[in-house]
Amino acid sequence: MKVLVTGATGQLGALVVESLLKSIPASQIAVSVRDPRKAEHLSALGVDVRHGDFDQPESLEKAFAGIDRLLIISSSDVHNRIPQHKAAVQAAQAAKVGFIAYTSVSNAQDSALFLAGDHRETEKAIISSGIPYSFLRNNWYLENELGTVQAVANGAPWVTSAGTGRVGWASRRDYAEAAAIVLAGEGHDHSVYELSGKPLTQEELVAAVSEVIGKDVPVMKVDDETYGKIMSDAGVPDAVVPFLVEVQKAIRAGSLEVEISDFEKVLGRPVTPLNEALRAILNA
């Protein structure tokens, strides 16, 4: 058996490979990356490093050759993600890959989340390919809040326009471990896993942050316009501010509230406790 991870030099992909190396020999692991030079440390460990670029479909079939099980980590290029993902699925078909795991998003087929459309189309493309699959519907990475956690540790308030909306935050490492288990394991054909931490409001997350950093953190509830202005004034790039506002809207609308999670089923253990995960990302 040989498995391959796309985007293996990215934040999630690197952790997936790290987890795989603990469970299967390096000789059974391949990675597909845009710049193989950035994966030389993996080559040194015996991992098969291959060039594969979502924007160069011709590179993908070659990268996927001889691969039994493939993990497609969703592209960070939100403007071109659908054609990129479809190219990867087509390459997997051409290479006769036997299984595809895909990092999707919570409740992808029904979600009103502004990011869900790309994942919805990718899931449909994978199903249409006829290749056995597993959809790893990841909720929100706790690491996405690192900048805010660092800001409040330095005295800033926690600013939000998310209202009472709840989010199933979990550590990126937990999501990566789940992906590695599904990729290297058996019994996951045609599966859908909703992966989410315990749904929490902003205030509940802030309570955990306060405990970890050892200081009370005030929560400032604002509207979307004010939130965007505060983010802009704090130095967030203009191109990023609308994205952050949309995330707040999505949380407020309940798009990231998942009551039943498959995390423990996949991991074989409880999700890493929030306080422990917060300490880990702050000390990384």
pLDDT, one tens digit for every residue, the chain (284 residues): 999 999 999 999 999 999 999 999 999 999 999 999 999 999 999 999 999 999 999 999 999 999 999 999 999 898 899 999 999 999 999 999 999 999 999 999 999 889 999 999 999 999 999 999 999 999 999 999 999 999 999 999 999 999 999 999 999 999 999 999 999 999 999 999 999 999 999 999 999 999 999 999 999 999 999 999 999 999 999 999 999 999 999 999 999 999 889 999 999 999 999 999 999 999 87
What pLDDT, on the 0 to 100 scale, is given for residue 83?
Answer: 96
What pLDDT, on the 0 to 100 scale, is given for residue 55?
Answer: 94
CA distance 186 to 171: 24
What pLDDT, on the 0 to 100 scale, is given for residue 112?
Answer: 87
Q: Which helix (H) or strand (E) holds 30?
A: strand 29-33
Total-model pTM:
0.96
CA distance 150 to 43: 34
For 94, residues 6+ apart whose C-beta sits below 8 A from its C-beta are 61, 64
Q: Helix, strand, coil % (nearest 5) of the chain?
A: 45, 15, 35
List of domains in the chain: 3-139+172-196+258-272 (3.40.50.720)
CA distance 206 to 15: 26
Q: Which region holds residue 46: left if phi is over 0, alpha if psi is between -120 and 50, else beta?
A: left
Q: Are 39 and 106 in contact (CB under 8 A)?
A: no
Q: Are 57 and 84 in contact (CB under 8 A)?
A: no
